[in-house]
Amino acid sequence: MSHTAHIPSHRKPRQRASKSALRAGVAGGVLSTIAVAGAAGPAQAEPVTQTIEMPTITTGLSTAVAASAQATQQVALDLETRAYEDAAAESAAKKAKKAQAEAVRKAEAKKKAEAKAKAEAAERAERASRTAERTTLSAPAASSSGNSSSASAPSSSSSTATGSAGAIVAFAKAQVGDAYVSGGTGPNAWDCSGLVQAAYRTVGIDLPRVSQSQSTAGTQVSLDNLQPGDILYWGGAGSAYHVAIYVGGGEFVGAQNSSTGTVQRSMDYDRPTGAVRVL
């Protein structure tokens, strides 16, 4: 065998070994690259993700902040408006309360004034009625007495009374200043017949309750022949609308009306139309 013929057989093994080494080197390099990339991959993934997402997060936050600021401003405006409304309502309530109190005060004052005017009118009407009754009955009374001027002053007008008459007069005078109340029978408020009945009851005499019956409870006497304790009446006998007690000295005590109460007055203030004597 020639020297040339042996060369190829010696070169082939070298070529295979060189290729195998190259292939092994390439494979090793690839594996090394993969290993390095794998090791470095997780550490680099997080920053990349954050960098990409940041613009989206920032934009959403700005929008939310702006909306929150607008909502806060609206709430502040609503609270301010409510505060103004509450203040206005409170002021209006105070004014309304004050106006109501003033209206009540005026109504009470008006009511008192009307009551006073009504009482005064009633007293004037009562006096006018008594005057009319007296005028109507004055002619027969004058004829029976035989002297038309005798009624101006009773002939028996002594203010000193004794016995039962004195007790009746003393009781009547003790009630002067008491109130007048329709239907009143004491001890601190009377009507006219209630006072007369109570005065006579102090001496054991039980009179009828009303003035009409009291005006016929005794013997009719003329006004010029009165004695203390006699019952004076206004109106007709049996239809009298007012009674009082003659206390002597040309005066009487009677529960007149709600304006004057129980008073002692001269008969010239309001002349009665007749009288009866019970004692």
CA 47 to chain centre: 79
119 and 254 within one domain: yes
9 and 130 within one domain: no
90 found inside a domain: no
163 and 256 within one domain: yes
205 found inside a domain: yes
Give the separation between CA 243 and CA 193, rounded to whole angstroms. Answer: 6
Give the separation between CA 185 and CA 120, rounded to whole angstroms. Answer: 23
190 found inside a domain: yes
Half-sphere exposure of 255 (CA within 13 A, CB side): 29
- Name the percent of the chain lying above pLDDT 90: 41
Beta-carbon neighbour count of residue 205 at 10 Å?
15
The pair of structure tokens assigned to 48 is: 């990349």
The pair of structure tokens assigned to 277 is: 């004597």
For tokens 């109106």, the residue is 235
Number of separate domains in the chain:
2
34 and 123 within one domain: no
The pair of structure tokens assigned to 119 is: 């009482």
119 found inside a domain: yes
pTM for this predicted structure: 0.47
Do 208 and 196 form a contact (C-beta atoms < 8 A)?
no
- Name the percent of the chain lying above pLDDT 70: 63
Question: What CATH number corresponds to the domain at position 211?
Answer: 3.90.1720.10
273 and 180 within one domain: yes
Dihedral sign computed on CA atoms, order 71, 77, 83, 85: negative
238 found inside a domain: yes
Per-residue model confidence as pLDDT tens digits over 123-179: 666 665 555 554 444 444 444 333 333 333 344 444 567 899 999 999 999 999 999
79 found inside a domain: no
Do 226 and 274 form a contact (C-beta atoms < 8 A)?
no
Mean pLDDT across 253-267 = 96
The pair of structure tokens assigned to 56 is: 């989206």
| DSSP string across 54-65 | HHHHHHHHHHHH
pLDDT of residue 81: 85
Owning domain of residue 4: 1-39
Give the separation between CA 201 and CA 203, rounded to whole angstroms. Answer: 5
**pLDDT higher than 70, residue 27:** no
15 and 127 within one domain: no
pLDDT of residue 235: 95
Give the separation between CA 178 and CA 185, rounded to whole angstroms. Answer: 11
241 and 132 within one domain: yes
93 found inside a domain: no
125 and 32 within one domain: no
163 and 25 within one domain: no
Q: Order of strands, edge to edge, in the sheet holding 274-277? A: 219-221, 274-277, 231-234, 242-248, 251-257, 261-266
250 and 117 within one domain: yes
**pLDDT higher than 60, residue 65:** yes
Give the separation between CA 155 and CA 244, rounded to whole angstroms. Answer: 19
51 found inside a domain: no
Q: Of 154, 127, 125, 166, which is closest to residue 221 (Cα–Cα)?
A: 154
Give the separation between CA 245 and CA 254, rounded to whole angstroms. Answer: 6
**pLDDT higher than 70, residue 228:** yes
Helix (H, G, I), strand (E, B) or coil at 244: strand
